[in-house]
Chains A and B, each alone.
Chain A
């Protein structure tokens, strides 16, 4: 399934435009969240296409870590960079 991986990579590249020129920090954050979803999908499709189940563990770990990053950055922006 190289066509599926290619189309998902194209969607990820299009999202990098919003990540580069998001007017606000929240635009960049949501583009990062959406791009990491596409990266997880690319990993899952590559795992099935190449017959390597190890990539699925990588995809699960990447999904959990990117979720943590997005939530922590959103809380950070919500507090104006202060700690509480």
Chain B
């Protein structure tokens, strides 16, 4: 029950992030959509999977995966944003 609610909430975050990536105006707005909502969606879905079925042996691997993603995902987002900013990309005229 709690696991289903957490996974459903995480899926909602994932879909909000997907819509933001598809619909926003330039690179920085899309980075905002992907970087913020992906962390929440990943965390909620993986915590829901940990809660699902009580504590088992593979839940440690799920927590390790969650820890790894929460470390690496902001670094990747920051790296993309810094790469676009250093190249003086203004974001004008790239509606797509």
Residue ranges of A at the interface with B (Cβ–Cβ < 8 Å): 1, 4, 7-8, 11, 14-15, 17-18, 21-24, 26-27, 29-31, 33-34, 37-38, 40-41, 44-45, 47-48, 53, 56-57, 59-60, 63-64, 67, 70-71, 74-75, 77-78, 80
Contacts and interface: CB of A to CB of B under 8 A. Distances in A.
Contacts of B18: 11, 14-15, 34
Instruction: Give the secondary structure class of B's interface.
Output: helix
B61 A37 contact: no
Contact of A33 (B14, B34, B45, B95): B34
16 contacts: A1-B7, A7-B15, A8-B14, A15-B18, A18-B22, A24-B94, A29-B83, A31-B21, A33-B73, A33-B77, A34-B34, A37-B38, A48-B52, A53-B61, A63-B69, A70-B76
